[in-house]
Amino acid sequence: GVYNGDKFFEANARRISKKYSIPSILIEKELIIPEGEVFLIGQTDHSWDSRFWGTVKLNSVIGKTYAIF
């Protein structure tokens, strides 16, 4: 999930908790992403992304992203 305040995720079977320093408009609630929209998440904790701006209409997205492993 995406959370405001505490960020929890599993990394190497350990739970990690980190506070965000910028406020989010998504305050601990479930979000159903409408058809034709996307939820964009930046690479760093401090990215101003869909956690702060909400979903984006897919036809507004220019370019492609690729996962780097």
Mean pLDDT of 57-67: 85
Q: 9: which strand partners?
A: 16
Residue 24 has pLDDT above 70, yes or no: no
* Residue predicted with more confidence, 20 or 63: 63
Structure tokens, 39: 């939820």
pTM score of the predicted model? 0.52
Q: How many residues does the chain have?
A: 69
Mean pLDDT of the chain: 70
